[in-house]
């Protein structure tokens, strides 16, 4: 029928303006500036004069590749985000640069993601996605050796991890901003993107398989100008660890998850509820608060996933009518 | 041939179109910053900002309906922020009518949610207006003038130029796939995983073509004297009108903030 | 008068092992307009890339009497204008103005001169008023004309054109041939358009399998049906 979307179905990843507090937005800009500054310098060293045309055209490639979609189910479609693919094919620094310009153009031209919060979006989708993706990729290749299937397995794991890490970072920022309680946002975002990440992984594997067959030299290009695989694996791990450590702090209230559960009204409500849904003795040792957090997470995931599916279906239908 | 839907610029000669891109960039940034600084529940200030945006839209002749329709892009996130309505402590307004799931909407939560939605809506209108009244190449030199690293701006310029070429290629590949897959709804056969991998192969092919194109472009640049530096003509200096508009609107926004914090 | 282009026993192999040129000999005098014809894959584009100093083969390439080397590469490139086969490769800037200004800007000319050159080159190609247009909005024929303008603005002494008329409708094609006929530069045109050859280019070189298989006045070559037949060409 149609080229179903003129630009990709929105995924809950490009944060619009208004959803982050000024402080979080500024921190986002600082991280982005450091990451992009390093990336400019290191990719310049690796690519020299070819940096501008190569990065520019390949950024356009990521943008166009995001339009290639495939049907999942019920009118929804999956498509590529591209951070891990860019990092694997071009190396982490060049990957960060291409993803940065993609995020910038999406915000400036299509209002996909805000302007004041662009720093945070660059941090998530360019810096974190590429560092985690590349770290996981090098880690897998280090563990299972430089065989062909390790390229594909590494590619899949990298793509999945990069999407989930970027989503987690997004949720943490929303939590710090007091826009969405971390106890809901984190499991919801991570949950949806654990699914989206599978699609991302499959597309990335398909792309890597083709490129490694046709131009094996290009798959190795991403390794030029990068330090040893071990250090990259550690870098990826460090970023993931930092995200994990940040998440309990992201509650606007001091005592973390417990307090969120309380804010959610779960504790009081659970006490006054006519009957207990999940009685204490089913999971001995699990406190009410922890349970409440998990329940909140699951409910949040279902709600947000339902909304995402609904919006995607609506969006698709609208574009189909326009096309 | 071209995917014109990718063009969000709306040609015109309105005063807003003619304003210097640097001024437009800075003012859009200041506007969104102001919206971010206005505290929750300051509906007066939000209203004043909306009036400013509406006035600008009218002046720009871009079309109120068009801007409102596009501003739906922030919708998925607005819905995601709905969770604050449930999670902020306050007077209970409404209880989810499902036994066992103790979710309540509080007054404080609802107001917080509405404030977030208002900020987002204001900001997205401003961003749409910027893109609709400024050709992207002008935004590029505006960015350069605002000291964004030249290499980054140059890369962004290439992205913009080749976006259309590669999007066309991507669209042709999708059409070819649909022509072959036989299923009119593009569903094709096979499992979801298989479809994803086919999509991946298309992305791989597109990557190879893009890579080879970048090599030819690099040669085309060398042929015309490229030496690794980024050179551009110096931008025209700001006109008096640009200064006046920039300062006036800037002061207006500052005054609005002062009044809000004073109250 | 010294030769503009003097190529002796030029060989070129692509990195994947494909031998694209196998012992080319060719010389061109100033002001000559030469057609480069031959089947697909004959090596025409490759030869033009080498003459523009963008690829390096084995053998000697002398331009304006000097052997091409690292020392004079940049200077030589500024005296030669190459128009690529695909205008989307040639036009890499967001607007027409930026693209036509590119060569003069990187030649280090003062800004006023750059602007003057841009309007002059656009006028030469009949493109007045195109400066602010976006490259991706142009039709194929307009892109081709802008592509020629991007090298004219550098005022090169030799013009290398790769398939200038492919993809043009008859009117755009006529117009481009008319514009090229008025230019005084030495010209080397790789093409499959035999009518362009007959009308515009007095001398013809046939390339096949990376070798020069014929070189002479266009009239004579176009009259030799057997030769044309053997190399996959036909009369206009
Ligand atoms: N980048 C490349 N890598 C490997 N081989 C190449 C490359 N470019 C061209 N070739 C090969 O070199 C040979 C000569 O190609 P060239 O482009 O010079 O031919 P041409 O005469 O211009 O053909 P056409 O009329 O199709 O434009 C061909 O066999 C082609 O496949
Ligand atoms: Mg050719």
The domain segmentation of chain A, as residue ranges, is: 48-268+290-322
pLDDT digits 0-9 by tens, C83-132: 999 999 999 999 999 999 999 999 999 999 999 999 999 998 889 999 99
Q: Which residue has the tokens 């000097």?
A: C66
The CA distance from A239 to A242, in Å, is 5
Question: How does DSSP assign chain C, residue by residue?
Answer: ---SEEEEEEEEE-TTS-EEEEEEEEEE-TT-EEEEE-STTSSHHHHHHHHTTSS--EEEEEETTEE--TTTHHHHHHHEEEE-SSHHHH--SSBHHHHHHHHHHHTT--HHHHHHHHHHHHHHTT-TT-TTSBGGGS-HHHHHHHHHHHHHTT--SEEEEESTTTT--HHHHHHHHHHHHH--SEEEEE-S-HHHHHHH-SEEEEEETTEEEEEEEHHHHHH-HHHHHHTT----
Is the domain covering C1-79+158-168+185-236 a CATH 3.40.50.300 domain? yes
User: Could you tell me the two tokens for A79?
Assistant: 């498509």
Judgement on whether residues B170 and B41 belong to the same structural domain of the protein: no
Q: Which residue has the tokens 């310029």?
A: B157
User: Could you tell me the two tokens for B203?
Assistant: 């992305």
**Pocket flag, ligand 1, residue C44 (CB < 6 Å):** yes
Which residue of A1, A111, A269 is in closest CB contact with B124? Answer: A111
Judgement on whether residues B110 and B3 belong to the same structural domain of the protein: yes
The domain segmentation of chain C, as residue ranges, is: 1-79+158-168+185-236, 82-155
What number is the average pLDDT over the span C4-28? 93
Q: Which residue has the tokens 């057997």?
A: C226
Which residue of A49, A111, A218 is in closest CB contact with B226? Answer: A49
Judgement on whether residues B111 and B37 belong to the same structural domain of the protein: yes
Judgement on whether residues B127 and B217 belong to the same structural domain of the protein: no
Judgement on whether residues B92 and B159 belong to the same structural domain of the protein: no
Tell me what pLDDT residue C80 has: 94
Judgement on whether residues B174 and B241 belong to the same structural domain of the protein: no
Question: If you take atom 26 of ligand 1, which residue's CA is the nearest one?
Answer: C40
Question: Taking CB atoms and an 8 Å limit, are B140 and C94 in contact across chains?
Answer: yes
Is the domain covering A48-268+290-322 a CATH 1.10.1760.20 domain? yes
H/E stretch holding A77 reads: strand A77-79
Nearest to C91 by CA among C175, C40, C153, C15: C153
- Cα C193 to middle of ligand 2, angstroms: 13
**pLDDT, tens digit only, all 323 positions of chain A:** 223 333 444 456 888 899 899 999 999 999 999 999 999 998 888 888 888 899 999 999 998 888 777 666 555 566 788 999 999 998 899 999 999 999 999 899 888 889 999 999 999 999 999 999 999 898 888 887 767 778 888 899 999 999 989 989 998 998 888 888 777 778 878 887 888 888 889 889 999 999 998 888 887 655 544 456 778 888 887 887 777 777 666 554 433 333 433 444 433 433 333 333 333 323 333 344 444 444 544 554 455 445 544 544 554 444 444 43
The CA distance from B216 to B223, in Å, is 10
Question: Taking CB atoms and an 8 Å limit, are B227 and A4 in contact across chains?
Answer: no
Judgement on whether residues B57 and B90 belong to the same structural domain of the protein: yes
Judgement on whether residues B158 and B113 belong to the same structural domain of the protein: no
CA distance B143 to chain A (A): 11
How many structural domains are present in chain B? Answer: 2
Three-state DSSP state, A21 = coil
Question: Taking CB atoms and an 8 Å limit, are B140 and C135 in contact across chains?
Answer: no
User: Which A-chain residues 118-157 have CB contacts (< 8 A) with chain B?
Assistant: none
Domain range for B222 is 146-182+204-232
Judge whether B189 lies within some domain.
Answer: no
Compute the 3-state secondary structure of chain B and give helix, strand, coil in percent, each to the nearest 5. Answer: 70, 5, 25
Whether chain B has a CB inside 8 Å of the CB on A26: the answer is: no
Q: How confident is the model at residue C144 (pLDDT cuts 50, 70, 90)?
A: very high
Judge whether B187 lies within some domain.
Answer: no
CB atoms under 10 Å from CB of C75, counted, come to 12
* Sign of the torsion angle spanned by Cα atoms B9, B12, B15, B19: positive
H/E stretch holding B211 reads: helix B192-223
Judgement on whether residues B22 and B118 belong to the same structural domain of the protein: yes
What number is the average pLDDT over the span B212-235? 90
β-partners of residue C61 are: C7
* Sign of the torsion angle spanned by Cα atoms A319, B1, B3, B4: negative
Judgement on whether residues B31 and B106 belong to the same structural domain of the protein: yes
Judge whether B89 lies within some domain.
Answer: yes
User: Which A-chain residues 281-300 have CB contacts (< 8 A) with chain B?
Assistant: 295, 299-300
Question: Taking CB atoms and an 8 Å limit, are B223 and C135 in contact across chains?
Answer: no
What number is the average pLDDT over the span B232-238? 86
ipTM: 0.91
Judge whether B219 lies within some domain.
Answer: yes
Judgement on whether residues B114 and B152 belong to the same structural domain of the protein: no
Judgement on whether residues B86 and B38 belong to the same structural domain of the protein: yes
Q: Which residue of C has its CA nearest to B167?
A: C136
Tell me what pLDDT residue A299 has: 52
- Cα A301 to middle of ligand 2, angstroms: 55
**Pocket flag, ligand 1, residue C218 (CB < 6 Å):** no
Contacts of A11 (CB under 8 A, 6+ apart): A81, A196, A308, B76
């Amino acid at each position: 029928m149609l080229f179903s979307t003129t630009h990709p179905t929105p995924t809950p990843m490009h944060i619009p303006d208004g959803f982050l507090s000024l402080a979080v937005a500024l921190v986002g800009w600082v991280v982005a500036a450091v990451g992009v500054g390093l990336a400019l310098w290191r990719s310049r060293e690796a690519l020299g004069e070819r940096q501008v045309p190569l990065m520019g055209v390949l950024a356009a490639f990521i943008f166009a590749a995001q339009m290639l979609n495939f049907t999942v189910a019920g009118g929804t479609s999956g498509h590529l985000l591209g951070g891990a693919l860019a990092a694997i094919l071009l190396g982490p620094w060049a990957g960060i640069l291409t993803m940065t310009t993609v995020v910038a153009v999406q915000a400036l031209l299509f209002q996909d993601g805000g302007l004041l919060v662009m720093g945070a979006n660059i941090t998530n989708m360019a810096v974190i996605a590429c560092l985690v993706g590349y770290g996981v990729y090098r880690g897998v290749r280090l563990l299972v050796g430089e065989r062909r299937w390790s390229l594909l397995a590494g590619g899949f794991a990298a793509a999945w991890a990069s999407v989930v890490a970027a989503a987690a970072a997004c949720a943490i920022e929303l939590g710090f901003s007091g826009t969405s309680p971390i106890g809901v946002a984190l499991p919801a975002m991570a949950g949806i993107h654990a699914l989206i990440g599978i699609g991302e992984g499959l597309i990335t594997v398909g792309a890597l398989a083709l490129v490694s067959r046709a131009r094996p030299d290009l798959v190795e290009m991403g390794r030029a100008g990068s330090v040893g695989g071990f250090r990259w694996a550690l870098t990826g791990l460090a970023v993931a660890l930092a995200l994990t450590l940040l998440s309990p702090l992201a509650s606007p209230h001091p005592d973390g998850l417990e307090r969120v559960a309380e804010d959610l009204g779960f504790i009081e409500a659970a006490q006054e509820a006519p009957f207990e849904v999940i009685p204490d003795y089913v999971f001995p040792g699990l406190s009410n608060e922890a349970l409440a957090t998990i329940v909140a997470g699951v409910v949040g995931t279902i709600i947000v996933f339902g909304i995402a599916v609904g919006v995607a279906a609506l969006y698709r239908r609208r574009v189909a009518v326009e096309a | 041939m071209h995917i014109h839907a990718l063009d969000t610029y709306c040609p015109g000669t309105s005063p807003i179109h003619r304003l210097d891109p640097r001024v437009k960039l800075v003012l859009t940034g200041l506007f969104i910053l102001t919206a971010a600084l206005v505290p929750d529940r300051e509906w007066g200030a939000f209203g004043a900002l909306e009036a400013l945006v509406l006035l600008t839209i009218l002046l720009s002749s871009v079309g109120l309906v068009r801007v409102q329709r596009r501003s739906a892009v922030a919708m998925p996130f607005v819905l995601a922020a709905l969770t604050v309505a449930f999670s902020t402590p306050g007077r209970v307004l409404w209880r989810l009518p499902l036994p066992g799931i103790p979710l309540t909407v509080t007054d404080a939560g609802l107001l917080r949610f509405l404030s977030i939605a208002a900020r987002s809506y204001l900001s997205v209108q401003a961003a749409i207006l910027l893109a609709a009244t400024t050709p992207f190449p002008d935004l590029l030199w505006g960015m350069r003038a605002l000291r964004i690293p030249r290499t980054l701006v140059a890369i962004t310029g290439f992205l913009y130029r080749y976006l259309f070429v590669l999007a066309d290629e991507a669209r042709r590949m999708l059409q070819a796939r649909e022509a072959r897959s036989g299923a009119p709804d593009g569903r094709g056969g096979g499992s979801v995983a298989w479809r994803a991998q086919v999509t991946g192969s298309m992305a791989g092919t597109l990557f190879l073509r893009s890579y080879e194109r970048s090599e030819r472009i690099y040669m085309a640049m060398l042929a015309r004297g490229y030496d690794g530096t980024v050179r551009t003509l110096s931008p025209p200096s700001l006109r008096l009108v640009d200064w006046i508009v920039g300062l006036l609107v800037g002061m207006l926004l500052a005054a609005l903030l002062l009044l809000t914090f004073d109250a | 008068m010294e030769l503009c282009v003097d190529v002796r026993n030029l060989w070129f192999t692509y990195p994947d092992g494909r031998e694209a040129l196998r012992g080319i000999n060719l010389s061109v005098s100033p002001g000559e307009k030469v057609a480069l014809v031959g089947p697909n894959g004959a090596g025409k584009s490759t030869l033009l890339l080498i003459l523009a100093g963008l690829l390096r083969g084995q053998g000697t390439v002398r331009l304006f009497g000097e052997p091409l080397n690292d020392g004079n590469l940049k200077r030589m490139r500024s005296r030669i204008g190459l128009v690529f086969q695909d205008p989307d490769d040639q036009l890499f800037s967001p607007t027409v103005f930026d693209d036509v200004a590119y060569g003069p800007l990187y030649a280090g000319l003062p800004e006023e001169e750059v602007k003057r050159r841009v309007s002059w080159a656009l006028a030469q190609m009949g493109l007045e008023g195109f400066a602010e247009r976006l490259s991706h909005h142009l039709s194929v024929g307009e892109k081709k004309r802008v592509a020629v303008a991007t090298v004219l603005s550098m005022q090169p002494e030799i013009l290398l054109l790769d398939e200038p008329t492919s993809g043009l409708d008859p009117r755009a094609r006529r117009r481009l041939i008319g514009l090229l006929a008025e230019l005084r530069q030495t010209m080397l045109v790789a093409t499959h358009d035999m009518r362009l050859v007959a009308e515009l280019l007095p001398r013809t070189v046939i390339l096949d399998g990376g070798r020069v298989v014929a070189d002479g006045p266009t009239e004579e070559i176009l009259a030799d049906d057997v030769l044309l037949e053997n190399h996959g060409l036909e009369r206009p």
